[in-house]
């Protein structure tokens, strides 16, 4: 059974000096964590820098400005050239990235085919998570 949906794409990072830097990005969704999406960014040393946030935030963000915390997402334009903007903030700084909106929407639709929104809580393995919490495991 398929348990994840992943996709590779290049995002553009806007540097403080106005440069556009391509950042290879792995979009990852796993059915055992049905409420979250992961973006894994490759840095210059080939290490992966993960960002995990709510799938419903991304789903809302492909339509309109969403998020008011460390992740903000919004669309720009229409058609095949439309862009998705992401503003990621941490105590160490922030990054503004853009990606192909149609590519992200296609991937997002696949995540909902794997685990529909109405079935997200059914896919959660709450017993395992609770047992780990009570046993002190990470």
Write down the domain spans for the chain: 4-135
Q: What is the pLDDT of residue 137?
A: 60
CATH topology of domain 4-135: Transcriptional Co-activator pc4; Chain A (2.30.31)
Q: What is the pLDDT of residue 93?
A: 86
pTM above 0.95, yes or no: no
| Phi-psi sector, 31: left (phi>0), alpha (psi -120 to 50), beta | alpha
Q: Alpha-carbon distance 21 to 135, whole Å?
A: 44
Q: Around 11, how many Cα atoms within 13 Å sit in the side-chain half-sphere? A: 25
**What is the chain's Cα-based Rg?**
16
Q: Does residue 53 contact residue 71 with C-beta atoms inside 8 Å?
A: yes
Q: How would you list the strands of the sheet with 83-90, edge to edge? A: 48-54, 36-42, 20-30, 4-14, 93-100, 83-90, 71-76
Q: Alpha-carbon distance 2 to 16, whole Å?
A: 40
Which residue reads 């495991």 in tokens? 137
C-alpha distances in Å from residue 13, one per residue of 17, 72, 95, 113, 137: 11, 15, 7, 30, 36
CB atoms within 10 A of CB 2: 8
What is the full per-residue pLDDT of the chain (138 aa) written as tens digits? 679 999 999 999 988 888 899 999 999 999 988 999 999 998 777 788 889 999 999 999 999 999 988 999 999 999 999 999 999 998 888 899 999 999 999 999 999 999 888 877 665 565 665 566 677 665
Q: Which residues pair with 23 in a beta bridge?
A: 11
């Amino acid at each position: 059974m398929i348990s994840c949906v992943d996709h590779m794409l290049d995002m553009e990072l806007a540097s403080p000096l106005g440069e556009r830097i391509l950042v290879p990005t792995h979009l990852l969704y796993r059915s055992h964590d049905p409420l979250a999406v992961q973006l894994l960014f490759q840095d210059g040393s080939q290490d992966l820098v993960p960002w995990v946030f709510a799938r419903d935030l991304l789903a809302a963000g492909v339509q309109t400005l969403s998020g008011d915390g460390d992740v903000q997402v919004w669309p720009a334009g229409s058609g095949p050239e439309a862009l998705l903007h992401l503003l990621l903030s941490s105590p160490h700084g922030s990054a503004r990235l853009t990606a192909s909106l149609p590519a992200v929407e296609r991937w997002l639709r696949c995540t909902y085919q794997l685990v529909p929104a109405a079935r997200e809580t059914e896919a959660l393995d709450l017993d395992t998570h609770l047992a780990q919490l009570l046993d002190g495991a990470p």
